[in-house]
Structure 1
Amino acid sequence: MRSFPSASVLDDTGLTLELAPALTPRGLTEAPEFFSGFAAQPLVLARGLLVLADVARTRYFQPAPSGMRDPICTANGDRMRFEAFSACNTVGVRLDLLAAAFDGGEIRHGTTNVDINQPLREALGQVSPSELMHLAVGNEELRVSILDATHVEQKVELPDRWVKALGSSQELTRDLELIGEAPTVQARQFLAALPSGTGRRGHWSVSRVGVKPALRPGRDTVYAEGLNRLRAARRLSPQITGMRVYGLPQAPMAASVWEFSLPHGRLTFTLTAEHYRGFSGEGALLTKLAAPTAVDDSALISACLAFEPRIEATSLTAETGLSGERVGQGLAVLAGDGRVGFDLYEQAYFHRELPSDTDRVVRDNPRLRHAKRLVATGAVRPFEGHPGTFRVRGDHGDYVVRTAPPSCTCPWWQGNAGSRGVCKHLLAAELSRVPTEHR
């Protein structure tokens, strides 16, 4: 993964995010300049960055000291996006600041990550509502400037685990439904009442009267546990103007998205279904990544992204001539590479510009790597007389795999029943049906 050797500075000239060489619509740019202007809401910008820094350094499961990680910053032409994951990888958080959040300046295109360590955190915490704050996203540093202080921090390498989590969290949440909305007062009351521990687990109803425990799954309920993972949002409570919650209404257990409205922006938390499960191990993309044409299709789709802040799958289908299924598989490869995300509010994909590494599809997905090995060693054979059923030689004998509906007799599948993606034996069975030249 590319590192971003640069710095962040807080001084009397502004908040400057400077970047490593990046791809732009004009091609490779050694010294990119993505934005320069003033924050219309200084507290939203300052406290929003602190929320991301809080989440990035926190382990919500089995709390322990953790090295800080650095938010990803993407300029999408009409907005700035900042993203991070918790140290335990169970929480994803994204701060979207739309063009109206800035006074003047042109938002261009590109992606980098920046360090926000303790001196800068302290400086951001001292920003006042009436303070002028200049933001510049440009060459090789993050510069934060107010009237009386300057801080410089070094950028660090983007963790590979975060890249895996970007794809998995997208796939787990892409089909979630809007469960309910809470207005300003109820959203702030909900945040104020969050426990410091994991608290109750189960289903919650979300409505204009707030968030309440639900006795059973229903149309207006969302499954969630460990809601203490949302406590970092309390920094922005005075600026929050409402809340939207997304989930799978009647699912016994699923990931959830908690979206807080801000002046000219949104703060979005994505939570894994169980508070101890990290995004990088969910395996949500595995079936699509195993498709024989997925990598080739991803290259074609990538050429059509064009740094758009909104990418419609239907438009990609028309532009590439691929079927909807193949577009989804190609997007899965790009998601696994961290190069596309999904915005539930807008129901559209968006583009991040990260270094392309299609080998990551196999390297960062051990189940897919092991499945390919099972096929290569002849460990998969049809179960005679039972179409769609296979015997797969595993570590402790043969397992019976059915592809429709998917199931496997291995201990891993019996323990998870597909809730964390398919097992390597089921993947191997699917791969065995693919012509050799496409594997």
Structure 2
Amino acid sequence: MYNYVRPSTLTFGDGQADMMLATSGGRTATGHDAHPVFFDGFLGHPEQAAAALLAVAKVARTRFYTPPGMVAAILRAADPVVTSNGDRLRFESFSACCGVYARYDALPGSLDGALLDTGTTNVDFNPPIRDALARISGLEPLHLQVGEDVAVRTLDAAVIEKKVPLPERWLKGFAEVQLASATVAPAFDVAASEARRFIRSLPSSGSRKPVWVVPAGRGLRITTRPTPGAVSLSGLDRLKPLEPLLRFARSLRAYAAPHDAQGATGVWELQLDHARLVVALSPESSRGFSGEGGVLWDLADEQTADDADLVSAMLAFEPRIDISRLSAESGLAAERVTRALGRLGAAGRVGYDAAEGAYFHRELPYDAERLATMHPRLRDATALVDAGAVRLAGDTAYVRSGDTEHVVRRTADGDRCTCPWYGKHKGSRGPCKHVLAADLIRRGS
């Protein structure tokens, strides 16, 4: 649960705007803190910063896809996650359908004040805050506090705590986004004028089938045929969160995942003044990041558990995790450090910044032991192993599930299974439970 002692506020007076973002429990450099205090100072480019914060908050209360037959419910918006990495603040959120990830990075040069601590927490982003942010102009400085002295505040007898459920889908989404982001590479970079033309030309709704965006001269165009270097885009309206920031844009950069005829995660990055707004889109608008299952390989790899524990103890909320340094200090090979970071990412404990080409440290307020219960395929695979339902014969595994025995074969392109789930997805959404079960047996043998 989020737990705030009072609402966030934004007030105007003395020629400036003063915003205090109330924090909920989170991790800091010194351990758990019920209400951490991360920053006290001014945000540069106030109108741009206000628009970016609004964009991240709007994504959290938007459903870009509603399954057929489902009645869209009134959304209770989840609150953005903020991480202080020592020299920058990162605000992150997911859409209600979990298919769109947004991150606003307030980079060095945009923060004029004291970064008081490092760590991760949730911040209260209530309707009055959103209304007030929309009224900020470029003429008034924006003073920001992330957290406040709660010990003083709780002396006020009028304080009423706000408790809001914390969505578990976000943890799974954070894990999948960092995994997908670590596989992308820069595809193209276009000027601000072309970014404005392209984003504004996209319809507010449209076909949910994947299309691809490719450079065309100095501009961009959409094609229905995938080509290497093209960026997959399913649900054209899912790029609309960038639109309110276009007037501040310096350029638009896109990152493409390895070529996939069925569509893949695309990462879009709007370069701003001393800041970035990043939007990552799931391979299809009907697929939320929380259900992708790519992290199951890392979670199932118990051999990396000790490495992950060692590496996690050496992290200090760095904005860019230096794998070479961790390798030298831990005595682990760089490859083992990278795999350990993958496992930590599967727990939402590190993110990946495509612009930096590096992981960054964050700590989400979740119990790591609950991870397995959040992933039914991993839980079912473990149950199959415990039941003795897996039989190995060379490169082939036979996995009995119910009354059916499925065959898992190792090939040069990865494991293949005869089950209907694999037949439908072909490994594009992570391994099926039978492939996972076979892998668990092989690792343990």
What is the TM-score with the length of structure 1 in the denominator?
0.90
In 1, Cα distance between equivalents of 2:252 and 2:429: 28
Match status 1:8 vs 2:8: yes
* Map of 1:250 onto structure 2: 259
CA-to-aligned-CA distance 1:28-82 (integer Å, 9 cap, x gap): 5565321111122111221111111211111111282322111111111110000
Where does residue 314 of structure 1 map in the other structure? 324
**Amino acid in the other structure paired with 1:187:** A
Alignment of 1:164 with 2:172, yes or no, is yes
**SS of 1:100 mapped into structure 2:** coil
**CA deviation profile, 1:247-292 (whole Å, cap 9, x unmatched):** 1353212110011011110000000111100001100111121112
- Closer, same or farther: CA 163–66 of 1 in aligned 2, 3 Å: same
Report the equivalent of 1:88. 97
* CA distance in 2: counterparts of 1:351 and 1:4, whole angstroms: 24
CA deviation after TM superposition for structure 1 residue 322, in Å:
2.5
CA deviations over 1:205-230 (Å, ceiling 9, x no partner): 03662220235333431121112011
1:9–1:153 Cα contact (<8 Å) kept: no
State the alpha-carbon separation in 1 of the partners of residues 421 and 149 from structure 2: 45
Within the alignment, does 1:380 sit opposite 2:384 as a pair? Answer: no
2:155 corresponding residue in structure 1: none
2:344 corresponds to which of 334, 337, 358: 334
Would the alpha carbon gap of residues 128 and 19 (structure 1) be closer, same or farther in structure 2, given more than 3 Å must change?
A: same
Identity %: 42
Contact 1:198 1:225 in 2 (8 A): no
Measure how far apart 1:426 and its partner are. Answer: 0.5
Q: Which of residues 302, 306, 318 in structure 2 aligns to 1:296? A: 306
Assess if the C-alpha contact under 8 Å between 2:296 and 2:431 holds in 1. Answer: yes
1:288-437 to structure 2, matched below 5 A, reads: 288-355=298-365, 357-383=367-393, 387-404=394-411, 405-435=414-444
118, 125, 133: which one aligns with 1:124: 133
Aligned residue for 1:238?
247
Give the secondary structure class of the aligned counterpart of 1:105.
strand
Residue 37 of structure 1 contacts residue 134 of structure 1 at CA under 8 Å; is this kept in 2? yes
Alpha carbons 1:183, 1:208 under 8 Å: kept = no
Work out the CA distance in 2 between the residues paired with 1:163 and 1:123.
Answer: 29
TM-superposed CA distance for 1:4, in Å, is: 4.8
Describe the SS at the equivalent of 1:7: coil
Contact 2:8 2:126 in 1 (8 A): no
State yes or no: 1:194 paired with 2:198.
Answer: no
CA gap of 1:371–1:328, structure 2 versus 1, over 3 A, is farther
More moved, 196-205 vs 93-102: 196-205
Partner of 2:276: 266
**Structure-2 separation of matches of 1:5 and 1:423:** 44
Instruction: Look up the match of 1:40.
Output: 44
SS in 2 for 1:185: helix
Across the aligned residues of Structure 1 and Structure 2, the Cα RMSD in angstroms comes to 2.3
TM-score between both structures, scaled by the size of structure 2: 0.89
Q: 1:71, 1:84 within 8 Å by CA — same for their partners in 2?
A: yes
Contact 1:55 1:84 in 2 (8 A): yes
Tell me, yes or no, if the aligned pair for 2:4 and 2:161 is still in contact at 8 Å: no
Q: Which moved more, 1:363-372 or 1:290-299?
A: 290-299
Change (3 A) 1:67 1:393: same
**Which of 154, 162, 184 is equivalent to 2:192?**
184
| CA positional deviation for 1:173 | 2.1
Q: Structure 1, unaligned stretches of length 5 or more?
A: 142-151
Instruction: State the one-letter code of the partner of 1:397.
Output: T
Bigger mean CA offset, 179-188 vs 129-138: 129-138
343-352 vs 287-296, which moves further: 287-296
Task: Find the aligned partners of 2:185 and 2:415 in 1 and give their Cα distance.
Answer: 24
Task: Check conservation: 1:115, 1:154, Cα contact below 8 A.
Answer: no
Q: 1:19, 1:31 within 8 Å by CA — same for their partners in 2?
A: yes
- Residue matched to 1:203: 212
The CA deviation string for residues 312-342 of structure 1, in whole angstroms up to 9 with x for no partner, is 3333233222234432332233222221100
Q: Which amino acid aligns with 2:409?
A: R
Q: CA offset at residue 382 of structure 1?
A: 1.6
Structure 1 residues 157 and 372: alpha-carbon distance in aligned structure 2, compared to 1, 3 A threshold: same
SS of residue in 2 equivalent to 1:66: coil
Q: 1:119 and 1:249, CA in 2 relative to 1: closer, same or farther beyond 3 A?
A: same
Would the aligned equivalents of 2:60 and 2:96 in 1 still touch at CA under 8 Å?
A: yes
Q: Does 1:60 align with 2:64?
A: yes
Take 2:192 and 2:104, find their aligned partners in 1: how far apart are those partners? 18
Distance 1:248 1:240 in 2: 24
- 3-state SS of the aligned residue for 2:83? strand
Partner of 1:217: 226
- Show the counterpart of 1:144: none
Paired residues of 2:4 and 2:124 also in contact (CA < 8 A) = no
Call closer, same or farther: CA 1:396–1:187 in 2, change over 3 Å.
Answer: farther
5+ residue gaps, structure 2, are 151-159
Residue identity in the other structure for 2:274: H
C-alpha separation in 1, matches of 2:175 and 2:26: 21
CA shift at 1:26, angstroms?
4.0
1:115 aligned partner: 124
Contact 2:2 2:163 in 1 (8 A): no
Cα-to-partner distance string for 1:359-411 (whole Å, 9 max, x where unaligned): 1331211111111110110100023xxx2111100135000002343100000
